[in-house]
């Protein structure tokens, strides 16, 4: 254990905890209303929304997993850069329109919009349950990021001594989320993002200089990891995997409940458009994060005996931590590890609130308490958020990490199947709920089957067409099946109803 690193880590963690506790007094309102607790009263301006959405989308696991993938797989890991670039134009088109509909009708979740748009509770329930199931392993992976951070600081990660820091971290998270709702992660996101920017800037300046420059870094990479494997007459190889993984990940990131919750908390649709124009700055940061994987490869930290035990325990996930431990003084290591740890708490808080909103508004209330008061609804959302947090904590403590990662891959496949209902519901008047529900079921079934065929170990599935093998991201293949069923069902419906399909919902 390094006392200086731990002291700085604990001090910064205490700072954000105090901010989280103070959040309930920031822009005071009646937090017994779910619009105030779960969406911060829809009053976040451009700056706070920028930090919240950025802090929401760029998680601790992103900070760990992206360079780990580059470290393990090379160029394929850089798919994260184009997908975050693609997601913002998509958000610019879709999210302001969704925000206007939600504000006009008082929607708290995207499933609220689906139910009012189509007057179909089964479709809304399907969208809500998909969002909840896709979010739970994502929260669990934030805990994985904290676990590796604590291990890198020298804390034990097994037994009660290893579990205690996780319980403390999520106990504090539970307290300030309960009291401040979405206001708490919104305030903490500012500190978290500033810490991450400082960490990345320091790494980009110091480490390449110590390694002899960027040219030397890339020259030291093994040839198979430097570029994607080129297509040939028999297979598209890495190109089709890379492109579909980027596209499918952009769809998934746009649709996750925590993304929608952060969006609906904005004060206007203009705020959302401004943020979709400004948020590519995070894509630049993510490119620098991916470069950490290149630095870890070229520096040879995996072969250094002082980190051998940690690499055996955590695998490529330890690459970033080894870099900072090797190249920086203790005080900066404390700042960097605090950035990663706090970077887990912000998205975990938003995810738990988003899942709680979906459960309360679209599962519990319509099925069990249709006439409940606003205060009771908010109280149930708070209780659901606690269950989600500590359920994810139990998931990490009881289930091996590799299963959490595999379930998160499956969650990305599932959440992508909500795209037709949301996007077509926003832009296409002549669409019926039953066609969307059939497409959703077909997409989920196809995606789950392909993941099962891969043993839930890979999100790429190889299609064969005209003698050419085309590996592609399962979410994209399943989405095509989904859209195919929606189109076929809609054509058959139009033929049986020549007068067409009309919607009373204002688009």
Q: Give the Å distances, CA to CA, from 107 to 42, 177, 447, 454.
A: 11, 21, 29, 38
Decide: 293 and 319 in contact? Cβ < 8 Å.
yes
CA 162 to chain centre: 26
Q: How far is residue 193's CA from residue 47's CA, in Å, rounded to a whole number? A: 12
pLDDT tens-digit readout, 416-433: 999 999 999 999 888 889
Q: How far is residue 123's CA from residue 242's CA, in Å, rounded to a whole number? A: 32
Q: Which residues pair with 460 in a beta bridge?
A: 473
The pLDDT score that the predictor gives to residue 91 is 92
Decide: 58 and 138 in contact? Cβ < 8 Å.
no
Percent helix, percent strand, percent coil in the chain, to nearest 5: 80, 5, 15
**Structure tokens belonging to residue 305:** 């005996």
The pLDDT score that the predictor gives to residue 173 is 80
pLDDT tens-digit readout, 300-330: 888 888 888 888 888 888 899 999 999 999 9
**Structure tokens belonging to residue 389:** 């947090």
The pLDDT score that the predictor gives to residue 80 is 84
List per-residue pLDDT tens for the chain, 507 residues long: 778 999 999 999 888 888 888 877 777 777 788 888 999 889 899 998 988 887 777 777 778 888 888 888 888 888 888 888 899 999 999 999 999 999 999 999 999 999 999 999 999 999 999 999 898 888 888 877 888 888 888 887 666 666 677 777 778 888 888 888 888 888 888 888 888 889 999 999 999 999 999 998 888 888 888 888 777 656 667 788 889 989 999 999 889 999 999 999 999 999 999 999 988 888 888 889 999 999 999 988 888 888 888 888 888 888 999 999 999 999 999 999 998 888 888 888 889 999 999 999 999 999 888 888 888 999 999 999 988 887 777 766 676 666 556 677 788 899 999 999 999 999 988 888 999 999 999 999 999 999 989 888 788 898 888 778 888 999 999 999 999 999 999 888 777 665 545 455 555
Which residues in 262-287 are b (16+ Cβ under 10 Å) and which e?
bbbbbbbbebbbbbbebbeebbebbb
CB-CB neighbours of 241 under 10 Å: 23
Q: Which residues contact 373 (CB under 8 A, 6 or more apart)?
A: none
Phi and psi, residue 501, nearest 5°: -115, 130
Helix (H) or strand (E) holding 462: strand 460-465
Phi and psi, residue 469, nearest 5°: -85, 130
How far the first Cα of the chain sits from its last, in Å, is 59
Question: Which domains are assigned to the chain?
Answer: 3-20+33-232+245-422 (1.20.1730.10)
Q: How far is residue 199's CA from residue 81's CA, in Å, rounded to a whole number? A: 19
pLDDT tens-digit readout, 369-390: 888 888 899 999 999 998 888 7
Q: Give the Å distances, CA to CA, from 378 to 63, 170, 467.
A: 33, 21, 56
Decide: 238 and 76 in contact? Cβ < 8 Å.
yes
Classified as helix, coil or strand, 389 is helix
**Structure tokens belonging to residue 232:** 């040939």
Q: How far is residue 308's CA from residue 21's CA, in Å, rounded to a whole number? A: 40
Total-model pTM: 0.91
Decide: 362 and 111 in contact? Cβ < 8 Å.
yes
CB-CB neighbours of 217 under 10 Å: 18
**Structure tokens belonging to residue 457:** 């170990």
Decide: 256 and 58 in contact? Cβ < 8 Å.
no
Q: Return mean pLDDT, the chain.
A: 86
DSSP letter for 40, please.
G
Decide: 81 and 290 in contact? Cβ < 8 Å.
yes
The sign of the CA dihedral 253, 258, 264, 269 is negative
The pLDDT score that the predictor gives to residue 389 is 80
Decide: 435 and 493 in contact? Cβ < 8 Å.
yes
Q: How far is residue 305's CA from residue 301's CA, in Å, rounded to a whole number? A: 9
Q: Which of 228, 239, 220 minimizes the C-alpha distance to 293?
A: 220
Identify the burial level of 398 via C-beta atoms within 10 angstroms of its C-beta, where 0-12 means exposed, 13-18 middle and 19 or more buried.
Answer: exposed
Assign residue 159 a region (left: φ > 0; alpha: ψ between -120 and 50; beta: otherwise): left
Decide: 443 and 478 in contact? Cβ < 8 Å.
yes
Q: How far is residue 345's CA from residue 166's CA, in Å, rounded to a whole number? A: 11
């Amino acid at each position: 254990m390094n006392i200086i690193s731990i002291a700085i880590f604990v001090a910064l963690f205490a700072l954000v905890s105090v901010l989280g506790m103070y959040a309930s007094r920031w822009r005071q309102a009646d937090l017994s209303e779910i619009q105030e607790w779960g969406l911060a009263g829809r009053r976040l301006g451009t700056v706070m929304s920028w930090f919240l959405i950025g802090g929401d989308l760029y998680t601790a696991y992103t900070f760990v997993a992206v360079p780990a993938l580059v470290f393990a797989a090379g160029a394929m890991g850089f798919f994260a850069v184009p997908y975050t670039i693609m997601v913002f134009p998509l958000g610019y088109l879709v999210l302001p329109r969704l925000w206007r509909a939600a504000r006009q009708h008082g929607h708290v979740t995207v499933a609220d919009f689906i139910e009012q748009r189509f007057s179909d509770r089964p479709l809304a329930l399907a969208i809500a349950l998909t969002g909840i199931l896709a979010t739970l392993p994502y929260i669990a992976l934030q805990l994985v990021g904290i676990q590796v951070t604590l291990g890198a600081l020298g804390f034990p990660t097994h037994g009660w001594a290893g579990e205690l820091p996780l319980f403390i971290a999520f106990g504090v998270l539970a307290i300030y989320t309960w009291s401040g709702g979405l206001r708490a992660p919104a305030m903490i996101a500012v500190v978290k993002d500033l810490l991450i920017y400082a960490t990345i800037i320091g790494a980009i300046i110091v480490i390449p200089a110590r390694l002899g420059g960027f040219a030397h870094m890339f020259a030291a990479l093994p040839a198979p990891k430097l570029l994607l494997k080129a297509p040939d007459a028999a297979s598209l190889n890495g190109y089709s995997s890379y492109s579909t993984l980027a596209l499918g990940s952009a769809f998934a990131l746009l649709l996750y409940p925590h993304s929608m919750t952060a969006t609906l908390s904005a004060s206007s649709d203009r705020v959302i458009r401004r943020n979709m124009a400004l948020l590519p700055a995070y894509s630049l940061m993510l490119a620098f994060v991916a470069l950490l994987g290149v630095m870890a490869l070229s520096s040879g930290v995996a072969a250094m005996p002082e980190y051998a035990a940690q690499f055996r325990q955590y695998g490529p996930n330890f690459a970033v931590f080894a870099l900072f431990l090797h190249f920086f003084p203790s005080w900066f290591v404390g700042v960097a590890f605090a950035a990663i740890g706090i970077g887990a708490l912000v998205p975990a808080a938003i995810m738990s609130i988003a899942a709680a909103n979906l459960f309360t508004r679209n599962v519990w209330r319509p099925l069990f308490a249709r006439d409940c008061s606003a205060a009771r609804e908010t109280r149930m959302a708070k209780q659901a958020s606690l269950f989600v947090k500590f359920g994810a904590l139990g998931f990490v403590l009881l289930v091996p990490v590799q299963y959490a990662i595999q379930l998160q891959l499956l969650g990305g496949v599932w959440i992508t199947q909500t795209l037709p209902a949301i996007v077509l519901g926003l832009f296409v008047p002549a669409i019926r709920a039953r066609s969307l529900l059939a497409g959703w079921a077909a997409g989920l079934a196809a995606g789950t089957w392909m993941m099962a065929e891969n043993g839930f170990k890979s999100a790429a599935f190889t299609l064969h067409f005209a003698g050419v093998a085309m590996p592609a991201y399962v979410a994209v293949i399943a989405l095509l099946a989904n859209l195919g069923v929606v189109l076929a069902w809609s054509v058959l419906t139009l033929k049986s109803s020549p007068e067409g399909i009309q919607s009373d919902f204002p688009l």
